[in-house]
Amino acid sequence: MSEKKEWVLKAFRGEKVDRVPVGFWHHFTSEDEWLHGFSNPAIIEKNIEGHKRFIREVQPDFIKLMSDGYFAYPNPAIAKGKSLQELATIQPLGPDHAWIKEQVDLVKKIKQEFTEDIAAIYNIFAPVTYLKWLLGEVSGGDDLIADFLVEDPEALKNVLDVIAEDIASLNRAVIEEAGADGIYLSVQSIQDQRVSAADYQAVIAPSEIRVLEAAGAVGGVTVLHICGYEGARNDIHLFADYPAQVFNWAVGPEGITLKEGREIFKGRTVLGGFENGKTGLLYTGSKDAIQAEAKKLVAEAGEQGLVLGADCTIPSDIAVERIQWVREALEN
């Protein structure tokens, strides 16, 4: 293992390191392609080429491998308009399904483009997220999940458990077969007031915890991303006991600083600090302002158990030097 990879993994574990690592990422395909890459080589090739460019231009401290194209979990039991009773017939795809095998190939192909040995974590979504996207859209479907939870929470939990079995298989495969160092699991509170914290923890959380545990069981690092995509709001306390090593959330929108978050997550490593959108400092600010913010974030949160990054994916057209400015600020 290279010194660079070991340094980042030490930071993930909350150990003392010489410099705080920096990690930013963005999508390499358009939103309308995210769900349509399975058995569509053109979209997957676009994703691989994007990683290749990013690695050469940014020379990142570590990388999140984007699963662009594979956002749609292709279980035949799930489709728009399906009732919960129909969904309840769901069976796992199994570890040999092409959707899993293609993602193993994707990770292998991206890793072939590495110019050095760096830590790589693969993007995974929560079982409930895969479900709601197939029932609704990439930002939607929450009302249907809430409907199901009200109708029959146990039936919904069983559906999520089956999906979790496949996502656990995917985790094991990308770590053991493809050589990813771990996963970046994206979760999100259900955006519907009918779903209480107790409901979430009883019905939805077990499937997410299973996904994290599967990665950990084969030696993978686990980063939990609490996603604020398109203004979604999260109760980050819901995830305080999840078995992850690193936690990432929308610091500004949720009103919880990196230091406060580290306390909520019981001293474990926190990732983030910068707003990710096109109105944020990282995208619009001057070099001096961005570097001052980077230093301020480290001063406030403390160097140990910290990785600087953003709330979520940054815009795909961001100028590369803006990422470099953050890293330069911490090197000086």
- Tens of pLDDT, residue by residue over 10-56, are 999 999 999 999 999 999 999 889 989 888 999 999 999 999 999 99
Residues 256 and 264: beta-carbon distance below 8 Å: yes
**What would the two tokens of residue 264 be?**
């909520």
In a domain, residue 2? The reply is no
Instruction: Tell me which amino acid residue 110 is.
Output: I
> Distance between CA 301 and CA 98 in Å, rounded?
43
| Residue at 43 is within a domain | yes
Confidence of residue 230 (pLDDT cuts 50, 70, 90): low
Cβ–Cβ contacts within 10 Å for residue 39, how many? 12
% the chain with pLDDT above 70: 98
Name the pTM for this structure.
Answer: 0.96
Whether residue 5 lies inside any domain: the answer is no
Q: 36 in a domain, yes or no?
A: yes
Q: What is the pLDDT of residues 158-214, one digit of tens each?
A: 999 999 999 999 999 999 999 999 999 999 999 999 999 999 999 999 999 999 999
Domain of 205, in residue numbers: 14-331
- Does residue 4 lie within any of the structural domains? no
Positive or negative torsion for Cα 253, 254, 257, 259: negative
Over the stretch 66-116, which tens digit does the pLDDT of each residue have? 999 999 999 999 988 899 999 999 999 999 999 999 999 999 999 999 999
How many domains, in total, are found in the chain?
1
Assess whether pLDDT exceeds 80 at residue 140.
Answer: no
> Is residue 168 one of the residues assigned to a domain?
yes
7, part of any domain: no
Q: Is the pLDDT of residue 4 over 90?
A: yes
User: pLDDT class for 139, splitting at 50, 70, 90?
Assistant: low
Q: Is residue 8 part of a domain?
A: no
What's the half-sphere exposure (Cβ side, CA atoms, 13 Å) at 82? 23
As given in the structure block, the two tokens for residue 168 are: 């656990």
Mean pLDDT of 203-227: 98
Residue 227 DSSP SS3: coil
End-to-end CA distance of the chain: 26
Residue 274 belongs to domain with CATH number: 3.20.20.210
Neighbours of 51 (CB within 10 A): 23
